[in-house]
Amino acid sequence: GAGVSQSPRYKVAKRGQDVALRCDPISGHVSLFWYQQALGQGPEFLTYFQNEAQLDKSGLPSDRFFAERPEGSVSTLKIQRTQQEDSAVYLCASSLEATSGTDTQYFGPGTRLTVL
């Protein structure tokens, strides 16, 4: 497809488990973003990649969160030792230009993570 895709769409994890969330951005898009959206809230910035370089990770809530984009295309957000407060929808977005917050971002459908 032509849009941003994410997998899995739903993930249930037991507290303490590690999870990996995948994002396939639009082909050719330079910038990739991860957001966390808690229930009833707006998306909150987690991290930003320009190609394979992670230029901003200021939004990652703890060192249990790790993101990578090794070849400048697909990205993976990994959460280690999941906690109940990690339950949220994780959104991925991509944009064509190499800008952090000014270009139009195209969002995937999100991965809903539930930690029991």
Partner 1 sequence: AQSVTQPDIHITVSEGASLELRCNYSYGATPYLFWYVQSPGQGLQLLLKYFSGDTLVQGIKGFEAEFKRSQSSFNLRKPSVHWSDAAEYFCASGGDKIIFGKGTRLHILP
Site residues (CB under 8 A) for partner 1? 3-4, 33, 35, 40-45, 48, 56, 59, 91, 93, 100-102, 104-110
User: In this complex, which beta carbon is closest to partner 1, that of residue 2 or of residue 71?
Assistant: 2
- Indicate the residue among 80 and 87 with the shorter CB distance to partner 1: 87
C-alpha to C-alpha distances, 58 to 47, 54, 63, 71, 83, nearest whole angstrom: 7, 10, 11, 22, 20
What is the smallest separation between the CB atom of 55 and partner 1, expressed in angstroms?
10
13, burial (CB in 10 Å: exposed 0-12, middle 13-18, buried 19+): middle
Residue whose CB is less far from partner 1, 66 or 106:
106
Q: How far is the CB of 68 from partner 1 (least distance, A)?
A: 19
